[in-house]
């Protein structure tokens, strides 16, 4: 038995099969099939460990589906009385099961070859959106990293925000605030490689670490004191896996702006429902900064149940229909369409998931620029 297998075996023993995780699991709520609940996954895993000879190709395929039918939202870990690290178990098990999903393998190949999840030219990572912003930032090319350039702050944009046009306006807002604050910041351009988080989610950790070695080497060359990002997945990878010098602060943009901004000239006085991104508040521990920033700019926050939107864990790739069903359940529970309420969040993946289900959604930064009259 490998060290990883032994560790998983010990973790499995901690589960007392109480079932507390079932009713709060967004997958179970949407499917009503216990096989896909956290407890069901563990039961399946125990069977696999006890009777490996029984797992033929058909059962392996079914097991793979079970393990990947998960948003990795972490609610099961949060509620588990025996403190079983369920999502870590599921990530480890995905290493053996990812071969069953051609779409996920394509993403892995894209990252290996082009250093981003879309398989697009990585030299266009920054240019793909900065070309839309020249009217606002005519000197923006001067902010892109070249050998020898240094800066106080690195803005790590991430794959999703770099290549998907919906986020150009969010990036415009973030840059406007950075300029307003007079920050000495830098964009990494083609030297920004994928943070590796998507690869972690599909069990390709070794491949992810190679990307991180490159990113960390660039961070060191720049000599920045702070690294910021708007993507909770990138934030998790930067905090947990990049082995960045401990003296360098790694922050979500809401944390950074909340520290820098005490008041605004134009309080908005609007009411919005706030969606907590699962990765941001459960994995990264960022809960107060987004709320503090929203209060400062005049957003009256309506809290929603801290539940997943369906956009995490690569579920949109493996089962988009189920991901949308989870979102539909959230829409119904929170009466988002009945009340015609606008949602605010601070995660590009969550934002897309809401908008694809016809819910008006914005990033906090898009309201911040209004409050600052930028």
pLDDT in the model for residue 7: 64
Average pLDDT over residues 32-59: 84
Looking at residue 8, its pLDDT comes to 64
How is domain 103-258 classified at the CATH fold level? Rossmann fold (3.40.50)
Q: What is the mean pLDDT of residues 271-286?
A: 95
Where do the structural domains in the chain lie, given as residue ranges? 3-100, 103-258, 264-371
Percent helix, percent strand, percent coil in the chain, to nearest 5: 55, 10, 35
Which region among 75-79, 249-253, 266-270, 271-275 has the lowest average model confidence (pLDDT)?
Answer: 75-79
The CA-based angle 115-121-125, given to 5 degrees, is: 75
- Over residues 228-243, the pLDDT tens digits come to 999 999 999 999 998 9
* Mean pLDDT along residues 136-157: 97
Average pLDDT over residues 174-181: 98
CA 116 to chain centre: 15
Mean pLDDT, residues 129-135 taken together = 93
What is the overall mean pLDDT for the chain?
93
For 26-44, the pLDDT digits (tens) are: 999 999 999 999 999 988 8
Is 178 in contact with 151 (CB distance < 8 Å)?
A: no
pLDDT at 285 over 50: yes
Q: Indicate the CATH number of 3-100 among 3.30.110.30, 2.170.190.11, 1.10.1060.10, 1.10.150.80.
A: 1.10.1060.10
Average the pLDDT over 216-227 and give the result.
98
Instruction: Please write the tens of the pLDDT for every residue from 327-336.
Output: 999 999 999 9
Residue 365 has pLDDT above 80, yes or no: yes
Edge to edge, the sheet with strand 153-155 lists: 185-187, 153-155, 226-229, 249-252
- Asked if the 264-371 domain carries CATH number 3.40.50, the reply is yes
Assign 223 to helix, strand or coil.
Answer: coil
Rounded to two decimals, the pTM is 0.94
Confidence of residue 188 (pLDDT cuts 50, 70, 90): very high
* Domains 3-100 and 264-371 agree in fold: no
- What does the angle CA 350 – CA 353 – CA 356 come to, to the nearest 5 degrees? 150
Q: What are phi and psi of 250, to 5 degrees?
A: -115, 120
pLDDT of residue 177: 98
> Tens of pLDDT along 315-330?
999 999 999 999 999 9
**Arithmetic mean of pLDDT, 53-61:** 77
d(CA 351, CA 146): 32
């Amino acid at each position: 038995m490998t060290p990883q297998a032994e560790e998983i075996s010990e973790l499995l023993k901690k589960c007392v099969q109480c079932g507390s995780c079932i009713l709060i699991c967004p997958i179970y709520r949407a499917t009503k099939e216990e096989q896909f609940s956290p407890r069901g996954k563990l039961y399946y895993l125990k069977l696999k460990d006890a009777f490996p000879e029984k797992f033929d190709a058909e059962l392996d395929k079914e097991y793979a589906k079970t393990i990947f039918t998960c948003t990795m939202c972490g609610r099961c870990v949060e509620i588990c009385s025996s403190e079983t690290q369920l999502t870590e178990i599921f990530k480890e098990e995905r290493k053996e099961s990812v071969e069953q999903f051609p779409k996920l393998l394509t993403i892995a190949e894209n990252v290996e070859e082009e250093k981003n999840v879309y398989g697009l030219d990585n030299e266009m990572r920054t240019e793909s959106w900065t070309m839309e912003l020249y009217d606002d930032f005519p000197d923006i090319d001067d902010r892109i990293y070249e050998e020898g350039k240094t800066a106080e702050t690195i803005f790590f944009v991430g794959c999703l925000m770099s290549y998907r046009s919906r986020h150009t306006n969010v990036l415009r807002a973030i840059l406007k605030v950075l300029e307003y604050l007079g920050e000495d910041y830098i964009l990494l351009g083609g030297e920004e490689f994928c943070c590796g988080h998507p690869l972690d989610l599909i069990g390709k950790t070794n491949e992810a670490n190679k990307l991180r070695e490159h990113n960390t080497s660039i961070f060191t060359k720049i000599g920045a004191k702070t690294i910021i990002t708007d993507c909770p997945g990138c934030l998790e990878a930067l905090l947990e896996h990049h082995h960045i010098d401990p003296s360098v602060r790694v922050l979500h943009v809401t944390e950074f702006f909340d520290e820098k901004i005490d008041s605004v000239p134009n309080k908005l006085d609007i009411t919005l429902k706030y969606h907590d991104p699962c990765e941001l508040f459960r994995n990264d521990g960022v809960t107060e900064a987004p709320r503090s920033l929203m209060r400062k700019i005049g957003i009256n926050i309506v809290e929603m149940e801290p539940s997943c939107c369906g956009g995490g864990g690569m579920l949109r790739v493996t089962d988009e229909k189920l991901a949308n069903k989870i979102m539909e359940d959230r829409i119904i529970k929170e009466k988002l369409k009945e009340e015609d309420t606008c949602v605010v969040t601070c995660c590009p993946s969550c934002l897309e998931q809401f908008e694809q289900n016809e819910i008006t959604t914005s990033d906090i930064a898009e309201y911040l620029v209004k409050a600052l009259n930028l």
